[in-house]
Copies of this chain bind each other. A is one copy, B any other.
Amino acid sequence: MSATVEETTELAPRLPADNLRRAVRIGICGLGTVGSGTVNVMARNGEEIAARCGRPVEIVQVGARRDNAACDTSKLNVTREIFDVADNPDVDILVELIGGTTVARELVLAAINNGKHIVTANKALIAEHGNELFAAAAEKGVTIAYEAAVAGGIPIIKSLREGLVGNRIQWLAGIINGTGNYILTEMRDKGRSFAEALAQAQELGYAEADPTFDVEGIDAAHKLVIMASLAFAMPLAFDKVYTEGISGVSSEDIRYADELGYRIKHLGIARRTEHGVELRVHPTLIPQRRLIANVNGVMNAVLVNGDAVGPTLYYGAGAGAEATASAVIADIVDVARTLEAKPDQRVPAAGVAEGSQAGPQVLPMDEVVTSYYLRISAHDKPGVMSQVAKICSDQGISIEALIQHEPAEGEALVPVVILTSRAKEARLREAVAQIEALDTVEGEVVRIRVETLG
């Protein structure tokens, strides 16, 4: 500690030879993208990690149905039966990296039952079964850590649960699905259609063959509900999230948004209101000047607004073998450090002490108040605009901005783009239904919510 800068030229820290703490022993289940990334980073940075952790971190077992050429397990103890790891008395921490919600749930419960701590990257598991798993862990005096489950390598769980602990969080909004953000970025930068951009994402390995989870917002909803539970100290409420995907976003809307000074991003938004917590995932227009509007490609970012700190933003890679491993290892070190501590000396999995959770209502979507972007295909006849304005005004909605270009040569339909004032969803929905029923309007009205995030 008192060494001066000149004394050594060592570039990496190293545990002293007389270190007395025994190694923490981890067992990794699943050797896919994240599992192999974790093995590789632990091997490469093992000495430094031990010095930071204050004790060596040892992989005592790996459970994998087959080898993965991406990492070298020749010196590791590999079992083909993942439940062996949950039963291995030498394992202190089981690292669950198999994904899914059925076998993973059983595996985690088995390990908890055997008194093991859990580190997981599995957002689906936490979002859908977290309440049950946290209760089981609390009962056994062990912890469940899940930094890697949200926004990959960005330490957002730690920031929400520890770094911002002095705040009442008012709202948070995140770009928390890299695939979706990649697609929207490609659509804007290269004028591609949704289908083209998706195909491109699949080619590059950013999107799965079945892209539903990413593109329809389910993955983002998993992550949102985890962040909201920490921000508002409430139970995980995955089934209460309103979820809308990006497959309906057109490059035309992206262009109009640009013209109005906005970008379209797929956001997960959680907000505390007097009547309950908003939980929603949907495409959103946000002002171009906001930092988060400029988060592009596969990158993730979460904007968190606390009553003391104001807005803070966390940005980084939301996926990838080593970025996710970074979060897994941070969790391992946290657990390792307090392995012998009393349960109440650890940061609680749910962010608040046992029995302290609040239970705010989730606000029904009809009650949510936002502004809207509307794109109407209207016949080029006088009177359309006054009809639309009348319908809106009857619902207490005013028109804040409007774009109406000349109709294209030979086109009977002209796109009318409107930004509305803030109004309840129910009002908006009613107005849109009435607009769609007009003789002068063709087909469905395109609607995308607008947030200023100010």
Residues of B within 8 A of A361 (CB): 5-6, 9
Would you call B344 and A54 a contact (CB within 8 A)? Answer: yes
Chain A residues in the interface with B (C-beta under 8 A): 1-16, 18-19, 21, 37, 41-42, 44-45, 48-49, 51-55, 131-132, 134-135, 138, 147, 152-155, 158-159, 161-168, 232-235, 237, 240, 272, 291, 294-295, 301, 306-317, 320, 322-323, 325-330, 333-334, 337-338, 340-342, 344-348, 350-362
Could you pull out 8 A-B pairs where Cβ atoms are within 8 angstroms? A10-B360, A11-B358, A41-B166, A52-B233, A52-B353, A155-B162, A308-B325, A309-B326
Q: Which 6 residue pairs across A and B have the least CB separation, nearest first? A: A155-B163, A166-B329, A312-B316, A8-B359, A153-B309, A13-B233
Would you call A16 and B356 a contact (CB within 8 A)? Answer: yes
Would you call B155 and A307 a contact (CB within 8 A)? Answer: no
- Chain A at the B interface: mostly helix, strand, loop or mixed? loop
Would you call B306 and A310 a contact (CB within 8 A)? Answer: no
Q: How far is the CA of A359 from the CA of B51 in the complex (A)?
A: 13
Residues of B within 8 A of A159 (CB): 155, 158-159, 163
* Chain B minimum-CB-distance residue to A40: B308
Would you call B163 and A359 a contact (CB within 8 A)? Answer: no
Q: When the two chains form the complex, which single residue of B6, B322, B325 contacts A359, counting CB atoms closer than 8 Å?
A: B6
In the assembled complex, the CB of A189 is this many whole angstroms from the nearest CB of chain B, namely 12
Q: How far is the CA of A18 from the CA of B354 in the complex (A)?
A: 11
Q: How far is the CA of A245 from the CA of B170 in the complex (A)?
A: 37
Q: When the two chains form the complex, which single residue of B1, B295, B330 contacts A164, counting CB atoms closer than 8 Å?
A: B330
Q: Assess A272 versus B11: contact at CB under 8 Å? Given A5-B362, A295-B291, A341-B338.
A: yes
* Chain B minimum-CB-distance residue to A14: B356
In the assembled complex, the CB of A319 is this many whole angstroms from the nearest CB of chain B, namely 11
Residues of B within 8 A of A306 (CB): 153, 326
Extra contacts besides A52-B165, A291-B294 (10): CB < 8 Å: A2-B135, A9-B361, A48-B168, A53-B165, A155-B158, A155-B164, A166-B333, A308-B322, A313-B316, A337-B345
Would you call A12 and B168 a contact (CB within 8 A)? Answer: yes
Q: How far is the CA of A291 from the CA of B234 in the complex (A)?
A: 33
Would you call B16 and A235 a contact (CB within 8 A)? Answer: no
Residues of B within 8 A of A312 (CB): 153-155, 314-317
* Chain B minimum-CB-distance residue to A300: B312
Would you call A310 and B330 a contact (CB within 8 A)? Answer: no
Would you call A16 and B355 a contact (CB within 8 A)? Answer: yes
Q: How far is the CA of A11 from the CA of B358 in the complex (A)?
A: 6
* Chain B minimum-CB-distance residue to A290: B294
Would you call A316 and B308 a contact (CB within 8 A)? Answer: no
Would you call A45 and B315 a contact (CB within 8 A)? Answer: no
Residues of B within 8 A of A350 (CB): 1
Q: How far is the CA of A52 from the CA of B306 in the complex (A)?
A: 15
